[in-house]
Structure 1
Amino acid sequence: MDTLSPVRDVPPYLGVGASLSGRVWRERIAARGVSADTLRDITHRLGLMNVAEADFVDPLARFIAGRGVAPDDLQDFLFPTLKALFPEPSSFMDMDTAVSAMLDALERKAKICVFADYDVDGATSAAQLVRWFRHMDHDLTVYVPDRVTEGYGPSNAAFDSLKRQGADLVITVDCGAMAHKALDHAAAIGLDVVVIDHHLMREEPPKALAVVNPNRPGCTSKQGNLAAAGVVFVVLAALNREAEKRGLFTERPKPDLKQWLDLSALGAICDVTALTGFNRALAAQGLKIMSKRQNAGIKALMDVAGDKISAVNLMSTFHSGFVIGPRINAGGRVGRSDLGVRLLSTDDADEAAALAQELDELNRTRRDIEAQVLEDAVHIAETQGLWPTEDPVVIVAHEDWHPGVIGIVAGRLRERWHKPVIIIGIDPISGMGKGSGRSQAGVNLGEAVGAAFESGVLLSGGGHAMAAGLSVERERIPELRRFINDYVTSHVSEADQVEALEVDAILSVKAASRRLYDKLDLLAPYGQGNPEPLLAFADVRVAYAQVMKGGHVRFELQDDSGAKLKGIVWRAEGTPVGDALLRPTGRIHVLGRLKADDYMGRNGVQLEIEDIAQT
């Protein structure tokens, strides 16, 4: 898949330069500079592949071309396989050194500890290693720091504790790439460390036996879109290969790594990584494994979620990211940080059921805390003049906000305000602020936060383009606000600071059929780097609209032919989009995504609205 940079000066689609949510609409293939030749080539090849009826080939070609898929890569995009896309493990810097260190420790029966981050990516990464070493008759210990008392990543105190417990080798997963001080300390106390991570890092790596990270400067793997869970899966392949060379499978079978693809997929999806190339294959094949409910922990979570997914045969990125993922994350946010790893590592159905129930209850608690912080953040932003604002990034801080939900709240407000948002919770005693930010396409928030750290404004900080974390002293928060906004203003064009919605195609209401929805399955799995198709419906009227519980709005659209399309827009009551549906004044243009409507055996479709513009 190619990386297509947005093209400047593309005229707004349907003339929408500012929608009711303040966004500009652009045609995806135009905004991404797709040539007519490329579009024709993809259309021709789709016809030869016979994957869709003739009347669906043109829209599918537009959808595919707009995602940067080159004609020669069409087969791998539509039918991604590990065999075709698996990277050479040794292309990852330090991979061979890391594998040798782990196998050396295994063979001498050393005590090995996995040090994992407390989110889904950390849990799925750790669980893969636990399961591989268990297959090799070697039990790993697992250490997951407490989000509130220890914060993110390795620390001197954590390494001291592991050393006292007799650890010989520590493998950090989804953390460690920027833990220079902690890893210096580990070296000083004689504790060997291997780092497996995917976060942005400095030119000079931390002191460790090996640092395996596709985003490490100088790494030639070209797999920078992988989550840590994906990197770990490649590590397992390298372990299998080297262990076979050492004759370690003479008394036991070589483990079939495909059985753990569900964990890799879950980490990739929940960490919002770009589902392109090899990462797309991991997600696509992993969702198939996940649907078989082979992992006792995932099965227990699917069961405890009840009717939300009980009728689903094949897991999707939605179920992974919005049903399963939040429950795994709940332990690290408002409960015990190791619950997720324990759940995903166990083969005991009873233990899995108990852990899943505990995580489900913690997730309910998390939602209550999140709702209160969200309400507080909106009130503070409005009363302190932080919103509305001309600043490209909104930063809101307050005492006693739970660090386990600030990232979620930042994401909610980013969706509401259509700007990058950083939420900071301040400890009232120490005055230390812990912050989490969420960004949008065009603004690399991790880079901006990293620059603030390098300049001395932050005590710690980093991340990736769409998300970042930081630590800051209370009195320096105004300075941080100025620094981040000045940095984004100077590094990102004014046009790129305005969120743009990229439209895949315009449809008539009649064309929004179940047949089209089913053909769109060829593009799945959807996620970062492969967004779900966004469709436009022009000059339609609102035939019906009603507010539902939770502030959602159900509606029915109608065009001049009399064809109707029903749907929903989430949390729209009291917003300009909701008002346009509930109190229509004329024709509107609508953007949305087709969803299945299988209620009562309908086998139909409905529209999930993203945005509305007045005609």
Structure 2
Amino acid sequence: MTRILPRPAPARAVTRLIEAGTHPLLARIYAARGIQSRDELDYSLKSLLPPARLKGVDDAARLLADAIEAGARMVIVADYDCDGATACAVGIRALRAFGADVGYLVPNRFEYGYGLTPAIVELATGLEPEVLITVDNGIASVEGVAAARDHGIATVITDHHLPGDELPEADVIVNPNQPGCDFPSKALAGVGVMFYTMLALRAELRERGAFAGKAEPNLAELLDLVALGTVADVVKLDHNNRILVAQGLQRMRADRMQPGIRALFAAAGRDATRATSFDMGFALGPRLNAAGRLADMSLGIECLITDDMGRALNIAQELDKLNRERRAIEADMQQEAMAGLDSIDPGSHASLTLFQPEWHQGVIGILAGRIKEKFHRPTIAFARGNDGEIKGSGRSIPGLHLRDALDLVTKQAPDLILRFGGHAMAAGLTIRETDLPRFEAIFESVVQGLIDPADLTRRLETDGALEDSLYNLETARLLEREIWGQGFAPPVFDDTFRVENQRILKDKHLKLQLKKGNTRIDAIQFNHADPAAPNIHAAFRLAVNEYNGVAGIQLMLEHFEAA
């Protein structure tokens, strides 16, 4: 069941925004998202929070500046998702521009697991580093940091994940979510943390006279990478993150991108001059992530750090091929998951736990997300690992902090979860295969105790009705140019329509022609093949649809029901 609920837009805030020159429709949408003044829509770099408030960033800058001056070898230990890949690329490009001797290592997720483990430190020693820098990981790597210390290697942790009860004894930790850090934006992605670390390092090198007589590296050139990683990691787009994304989009639209970003746009068949956060989240990000899911994320990182456009295009085509393979695997897994759920009533459960021995470890997170979306239940999907273990990836719904739920499971059954970590909406864990029934029962009990039953009904917030005069290409383009994402949701409207025509595309997408007043409008709902009633109440996004060079509008239906 889905409840369509309009977001309230405080009248005073709407009026203030209109008086400050905001388009009336945008004023209503922004006010409904808590925007009080035009200052919160200022996406210039001067509005970016200063690095100095990020705990540990100045210490990291001094340590790295000392290492550069000493000619010390540095190695970045990356994570295997889009955030980790872009964070690594930002580090490699910035440090090399500063004159550093730096390489990178991105371990195979299936062999080495997550974070800076002792095994990964052993692997890294082959590169003879004097400094290890983690990006998008490391805050939970207590044993790995200790192993690095035993080898005489300094460690700089840059991460954004929530810390556990014990912090690693690294030389420096830069993480807005570590204890004692009062950085106002706790929502920085891993790439955002690395970008801030590089800003602080540049300031430190500037003070030391490192750029005397030569041009200072322009770190703004890396903002396309920062934007991509921020959107793809689905972190909250608070004001600071919206600045980073807006600046990155500005560079993409002006064709001032890294070769790898340009190549990814080409592989995805998207027009970079009209780049949106949607492109980053649903076109570029998945292609990079496919490398980490099915192969080796070093392929994605190489795409982002090469300056050879031809090589970037070749790698982007490989990434596109991997993404198509990933989608085929995902479709098969989803079909198996749905068949497995036929024997139960998902509505009678507060959570869903899924497992098939043949499932692909790299795709279970996407599968969990798909099942979560369909049934609106916190979902964990497991795949078989090594030595009798199974690895799970979970996705949650508003109202349940998934990592906290797993933490409570460990308190109730300390021997059950071997490893876990994550965020409110996504988490990963490892258990023994023989413990799956016990985990399923305890997790279900924990979720029932934590979640409000009302949160198990999907609530779809909308921005109300769209005036008849605004069903046009100009409005769609206006909305397309703005910054939307997690925590700053893209506009969704709702209204009633007459269904004049409908048909199924590719056996799974419902294509409709709707009538509103005297206006006929095309609409589509993806992955929905059930027919619509003659009159429907629909929640939708207004989108641009281009076909054979002709642009028009199309409603992207999020949900509909008989009116």
Alignment of 1:406-425 (within 5 A): 406-425=364-383
Q: Deviations over 1:286-337 (max 9, x none)?
A: 11212315311111222222xx314x52211121111111111111111122
Alignment of 1:251-400 (within 5 A): 251-291=213-253, 292-305=255-268, 308-310=269-271, 312-383=272-343, 385=344, 387-400=345-358
Decide whether the 8 Å contact of 2:187 with 2:235 is kept in 1: yes
**Counterpart selection for 1:543 from 486, 494, 500:** 500
**Counterpart selection for 1:572 from 528, 532, 542:** 528
Aligned to 1:5: none
How far did 1:249 drift? 0.9
Decide whether the 8 Å contact of 1:88 with 1:221 is kept in 2: no
How far did 1:156 drift? 0.9
How far did 1:534 drift? 1.0
Alignment of 1:419-498 (within 5 A): 419-427=377-385, 430-453=387-410, 455-456=413-414, 457-498=416-457
Aligned to 2:561: 613
Code of the residue aligned with 1:431 in structure 2: it is G
Aligned to 1:562: 518
State TM-score, norm by structure 1. Answer: 0.87
**Residue 67 (1) aligns with residue 33 (2):** yes
Code of the residue aligned with 1:599 in structure 2: it is Y
State TM-score, norm by structure 2. Answer: 0.95
Q: Deviations over 1:417-448 (max 9, x none)?
A: 22221110023x62211111112222211221
Equivalences, count: 560
Aligned to 2:131: 169
Q: Which stretch shows the higher mean deviation, 328-337 or 508-517? A: 508-517
How far did 1:241 drift? 0.8
Aligned to 1:14: none
* Structure 1 pair 594–114 and aligned structure 2 pair: CA distance change class (3 A): same
Decide whether the 8 Å contact of 1:273 with 1:528 is kept in 2: yes
CA distance in 2, matches of 1:299, 1:511: 33
SS at match of 1:282: helix
CA distance in 1, matches of 2:464, 2:392: 38
Decide whether the 8 Å contact of 2:85 with 2:301 is kept in 1: yes
**Residue 99 (1) aligns with residue 55 (2):** no
Code of the residue aligned with 2:554 in structure 1: it is Q
Code of the residue aligned with 1:564 in structure 2: it is R
Code of the residue aligned with 1:66 in structure 2: it is A
Q: Deviations over 1:505-560 (max 9, x none)?
A: 123555423333233346x211101111111112x22110010115111101124x
CA distance in 1, matches of 2:20, 2:387: 63
* Structure 1 pair 536–250 and aligned structure 2 pair: CA distance change class (3 A): same
CA distance in 2, matches of 1:405, 1:431: 20
Q: Deviations over 1:194-213 (max 9, x none)?
A: 11001111253211011111
How far did 1:96 drift? 1.6
**Residue 221 (1) aligns with residue 151 (2):** no
SS at match of 1:222: coil
Decide whether the 8 Å contact of 2:225 with 2:248 is kept in 1: yes
**Residue 28 (1) aligns with residue 3 (2):** no
How far did 1:413 drift? 1.4
CA distance in 2, matches of 1:441, 1:287: 28
Decide whether the 8 Å contact of 1:197 with 1:231 is kept in 2: yes
Code of the residue aligned with 1:100 in structure 2: it is R
**Residue 502 (1) aligns with residue 461 (2):** yes
SS at match of 2:22: coil
CA distance in 2, matches of 1:543, 1:509: 18
**Residue 42 (1) aligns with residue 13 (2):** yes
CA distance in 1, matches of 2:141, 2:311: 34
SS at match of 1:145: coil
How far did 1:233 drift? 1.2
CA distance in 1, matches of 2:451, 2:429: 21
Q: Which stretch shows the higher mean deviation, 603-612 or 592-601? A: 592-601
Code of the residue aligned with 1:568 in structure 2: it is I
Aligned residues: CA RMSD? 1.9
Q: Which stretch shows the higher mean deviation, 347-356 or 399-408? A: 347-356
How far did 1:117 drift? 0.2
SS at match of 1:149: helix
* Structure 1 pair 251–340 and aligned structure 2 pair: CA distance change class (3 A): farther
Aligned to 1:531: 489
Aligned to 1:518: 477
Code of the residue aligned with 2:39 in structure 1: it is Q
CA distance in 1, matches of 2:165, 2:180: 8
SS at match of 2:161: coil
How far did 1:252 drift? 3.3
CA distance in 2, matches of 1:89, 1:452: 37
CA distance in 1, matches of 2:342, 2:80: 32
CA distance in 2, matches of 1:379, 1:448: 27
Q: Structure 1, unaligned stretches of length 5 or more?
A: 1-21
**Residue 604 (1) aligns with residue 563 (2):** no
SS at match of 1:313: helix
* Structure 1 pair 255–453 and aligned structure 2 pair: CA distance change class (3 A): farther
Code of the residue aligned with 1:466 in structure 2: it is M
**Counterpart selection for 1:204 from 160, 163, 166:** 166
* Structure 1 pair 551–293 and aligned structure 2 pair: CA distance change class (3 A): farther
Q: Which stretch shows the higher mean deviation, 225-234 or 550-559? A: 550-559
SS at match of 1:443: coil
Decide whether the 8 Å contact of 1:145 with 1:153 is kept in 2: no
Q: Provide the identity percentage.
A: 34
CA distance in 2, matches of 1:204, 1:277: 31
How far did 1:614 drift? 2.4
How far did 1:188 drift? 2.6
How far did 1:227 drift? 0.6
